Structure 1
Amino acid sequence: MPKVSLSNLPVSALFGVTKPSGPTSMSIINDIKQLASQSRLFVEASKLEQVKGKKIPKKGKRSREILKIGQGGTLDPLADGVLVVGIGKGTKKLSEFLDCTKEYQTTCLLGCETDTYDSEGATVRLAPWRHVTRENVESTLSQFTGEIQQTPPIFSALKMDGRPLYEYARKGIPLPRPIEPRQVTVHSLELVEWLGNNHSFRWPEKTMDGDAKQALATALKSVNEGVSLDDNRELDEGEAPQAFVLKMRVSGGTYVRSIVHDLAHALGSAGHVATLSRTRQGRFALHSTAEGDYSCVPWEIFANASSDAGAVDDEGWTEWEREVMQRLELVGA
C-alpha cells in the first residue's frame, strides 16, 4: 500500500467497484458511503469523532459536509461489472467517465421483445427465432460497427420537453416529436459465444396488459406509423430460443440494450438483453490488461464490512480499507 501514507490523510480518490446484478448503483454508493464516512482514509479526524457509530444521511448538506461521494456512470440493476466511485475531490473527475470508452459483454435472447429491451421488462412482442444462425449473426454485426446512428429506447430516463421518455410510454402520451438519434461509435463488436438452445434463460414472465400495451403503441406510433407490437409467434413448448453472447467496445452514450434490440430486428426476429456486464470503463477494468489499468474492488469486500468491519492490521486498517488502498487512484487539488 505505498500510495497512501499517514501524512497525507485523508485522501481524495477514484476507485472501481465490481457491482453485482440486482441492486441499484445508488444503493451501492450509499452502502460504501456508510463505510467511507467512518474511515480515516477519507474523513478528517475531527469529523470522525462527530459521526462515530452514527448512520450518515443519504442526501443533504450534512451528508455532503461529512463526505462527498459519487459514481461515474449508472449501471441498470440487471447489469454487473465496473462502477467507478469518486470520493472527495475525486467527484470532480467523474464526468470524464461518462464519455470515455467502455467495454461490455452481453447475452442476447431471441424471440422476445420487452418494453425495456432487457429481461427486467415486460414482454411486448414475440417473433420467430429458429431461422437465426451463428453465421447470420456474424454477418450482420458489421451493420452495427463504426460510427452509427442509434435511437435510445423509449423506456429510458432521457427527457423530452421536461418529461422522461418512459413516462410517455407508460401513460400513452404521444411523443411531441421523434426520439432524436445520436451518433455513437462502436469500436468493436464480436460474437464470442453461440449458446444456441443450450442455456437456462427464459423469456420474462411479466407481460403487458392490454391497456399498457396500447399506451406504449400510442406513444410509439405518434412518431412511427409503421411500428407494430403484434405477436408473430413461433413457439414450441419446452424448447429454449436461441441465445448468443456479444463483446463490444463502445463510446460513451451508447445503449447496449438498443444494439441488441436493433440487431434482433435486423435478423428478422426480436430479442432482449438477458445479461449485461461492464468489463471496462476508461482505465478501470474487471481484468487489467494494459499498463495504467486499475482493477476493481469486489463488492463482497464492502458487503462483508457492512455487517462486520473485522479485525484491523498493525497500522489500524480493516480489510476493506486495505483492498481500496491497493486499487485507488489518488486525486490532488
Structure 2
Amino acid sequence: MKAASLLKMAGSVLDGVFAINKPLGMSSAQVIRDCQQHLNPSALFKPMIDQERAARSQESNNKKKRRGFGKNDLRVKMGHGGTLDPLATGVLILGVGKGTKSLQSFLDCTKTYETVVLFGASTDTYDRVGKVLKKTAYDHITRPMVEEALNSFRGKLQQMPPLYSALKMQGKPLYEYAREGKPIPREIATREVDVVELEMLDYYEPGTHNHRWPAEDATTFERNFAEQVWKIEKDQTKNKKPTPEEEEEETKALEEHEKFKRKADATVDALVYDKVNKRRKTSDNPALMSGALGEVPPKKAGKGSNLIPPPHDPNTPPPWDDKGPPAARIRMTVTSGFYVRSFCHDLGVKVGSAAMMAELCRSRQGDFVVGSSNCLEYDDLAKGEEIWAPKLESMLARWNEKSHAAPSSAPTRAKLSDSPNQPQESIEMSPRKRKVSEEFGQEQASSSKTKLRPSVRDEKAASSKPTSPSKTKSEDEWNGFDDATSSKEQ
C-alpha cells in the first residue's frame, strides 16, 4: 500500500481484536513486544499514539511519577487472550487499544489443538524440552491400541495438572514442593474438562519420524519426586488413602532428606568465603549464580525470543538402539483449562508405556483460525507496513462490525473439581438502578461497584450476556516461561 493511502487510512484511532500465528520457541509476551515494535512507528497507529500523547500532557506531575520508571514511553496498548507455550505455535489472540477489554471472554472459549505424541519416555515437563524421568518399553504399542485408548479421553473427565505446572496447591506452585524437599498435598486439585472432539490424524510407525526424546536425564531427586506425584495420582484415582505405616514411612523419609540437605548446605558454606572489599568497584556485568536451579542460561536475543533448544543434529545417533518408538498426531477440541501435555502423558500410561508432547499447534480459538483472513502471519511484520497494515486494518474493521459479545463457540471454562459451582456473574442493571442521563441520553449504572461510562455501555452489556458461564479462578498454560493462564499450555 502506498504511503498516501496509509495516511488516509490512519485518520482515526483503530481498536479491536485480531489473531497472529505465533512462531515456535517464542513466548506470548515477546510476540506482543515485537508487534509493538512495528505498530508504534506506523502511520496506521499514529492517531492512537497522538491521542495518548495528548492525554498524558494533561496529567499532573504526581500521576506521571506514579506511572513508574520505564512506563512513560508511548506505545500501542496491547494484550493477549490466553497465552501459548513457547513450544506451541498457532492462534494467539491479541487486543489493541479498547479491544483489550474484550480479551477476557476468549479465556473461556473452546480451542482446537493438533499435537504429536511421542511414546517410550516421560519428562518432568511432559514435553520434549524437559528432562527424561523414565524410559519404558514401546514395542507392544499399535495403532488400534492407541485408537482404543482415545475412547477413555472423550467427554467430561477429571484432569491432573503436569508435574511442574504453575497451578498452586495450598497457595504454593507444585514444583516448589520439589525444590524445597517438602511432601506435596495428599489430594492434588484436579479440574473438570470436556473433550468435545478427539481423533487421530496420523500414526507414525517406528523409524518413520524424526521426533526424539530429550538428551538430558532427570536427577535422582527429580525422579523420586515424580514417582511421589504419580503414586498420589494413582491412589487418588482409585480413592485409596495411605495407611498409617505409609504416612510414617513418608515422614521418616522426609526427615532424612532434610538432614542430608542441611548437611550438604553446611559443607558448601564452609568451603565458600567471600570477603567484602569496599574498595572494589562493582562490575557492569554481575555474575550469575548457577547450581540449585540449573546451569546459567545463555544470552538470548530477546526476553522470550528463543526459549526452545535447537533441533537435534541429524548426524547424531538417536537415543535408542532399535527403530525407535512410534508417534501419533492427534487433533482435539477442548474446553479452556485443558492441559495437552497432561493428555499426552496420560495417553502413554493408558497404553502401558510412557509418552510426551513433541509438537503442539493451536489451530483455532473461538472464531480465529490459523491460515484464515482473521489470523495474521508473524512473518508479515518483517515484510513492512505496506504488507501487514492492510491485513490488520481489515481484521480490526471486521471485528468492529460484528457484535462484541462472547465468541460464537459456547465458552466452557474448566472448573477445579473441589470447588463448588459459582453463581453466574452479571453486570446487568435492575430497573430501580437505571436512570436516564440528560447529557448523553443513555443508561448508566448508579451502583458504585458497576458504573458504566456511556461510551462503553454497549460493549460491557454485550460481554455480560446470560450465555456467559460461571467463572472460577484457574490458570492455564505454561507459566514457567511467560507470564498465563493455564494450561505451561497449556
Short-chain TM bin: 0.7 to 0.9
1:296 aligns with 2:375: yes
| In structure 2, C-alpha distance between the alignment counterparts of 1:182 and 1:269, rounded to whole Å | 24
Equivalent of residue 270 in structure 1, options 354, 374, 379: 354
Between the aligned residues of both structures, percent identity stands at 39
SS, match of residue 224 in structure 2: helix
1:129 aligns with 2:134: no
Equivalent of residue 50 in structure 2, options 41, 45, 68: 45
Shift, 1:149, TM fit: 1.1
1:175 and 1:224, CA in 2 relative to 1: closer, same or farther beyond 3 A?
farther
Shift, 1:106, TM fit: 0.5
Shift, 1:322, TM fit: 1.9
| In structure 2, C-alpha distance between the alignment counterparts of 1:133 and 1:170, rounded to whole Å | 38
Shift, 1:219, TM fit: 5.6
Q: Give the aligned residue type for 1:18.
A: N
| In structure 2, C-alpha distance between the alignment counterparts of 1:5 and 1:83, rounded to whole Å | 29
- TM-score, scaled relative to structure 1: 0.81
Which has the higher mean CA deviation after the structures are superposed, 173-182 or 196-205? 173-182
1:82 aligns with 2:150: no
Contact 2:368/2:374 (8 A) holds in 1? yes
Shift, 1:154, TM fit: 2.2
Contact 1:41/1:321 (8 A) holds in 2? yes
Q: Give the aligned residue type for 1:37.
A: N
- TM-score, scaled relative to structure 2: 0.56
Mapping for residues 317-332 of structure 1, pairs under 5 Å: 318-328=386-396, 329-331=398-400
| In structure 1, C-alpha distance between the alignment counterparts of 2:350 and 2:152, rounded to whole Å | 9
| In structure 1, C-alpha distance between the alignment counterparts of 2:8 and 2:130, rounded to whole Å | 48
| In structure 2, C-alpha distance between the alignment counterparts of 1:224 and 1:244, rounded to whole Å | 25
- 2:79 maps to 70
Contact 2:82/2:93 (8 A) holds in 1? yes
SS, match of residue 318 in structure 1: helix
Contact 1:199/1:240 (8 A) holds in 2? no
Shift, 1:268, TM fit: 0.5
- 1:211 maps to 221
Contact 2:23/2:90 (8 A) holds in 1? yes
| In structure 1, C-alpha distance between the alignment counterparts of 2:114 and 2:179, rounded to whole Å | 29
1:201 aligns with 2:285: no
| In structure 2, C-alpha distance between the alignment counterparts of 1:171 and 1:217, rounded to whole Å | 16
| In structure 1, C-alpha distance between the alignment counterparts of 2:153 and 2:234, rounded to whole Å | 21
Is the radius of gyration larger for structure 1 or structure 2? 2
1:24 and 1:160, CA in 2 relative to 1: closer, same or farther beyond 3 A?
same
- 1:13 maps to 16
RMSD, matched Cα? 3.1
Shift, 1:318, TM fit: 2.8
1:117 and 1:153, CA in 2 relative to 1: closer, same or farther beyond 3 A?
same
1:236 and 1:222, CA in 2 relative to 1: closer, same or farther beyond 3 A?
closer
Contact 2:197/2:333 (8 A) holds in 1? yes
- 1:313 maps to none
- 1:53 maps to none
1:282 aligns with 2:366: yes
Shift, 1:240, TM fit: 1.9
1:72 and 1:152, CA in 2 relative to 1: closer, same or farther beyond 3 A?
same
Which structure carries more strand by proportion? 1
How many residues are treated as equivalent by the alignment? 303
Unpaired segments ≥5 residues, structure 2: 2-6, 56-66, 238-318, 405-455, 457-490
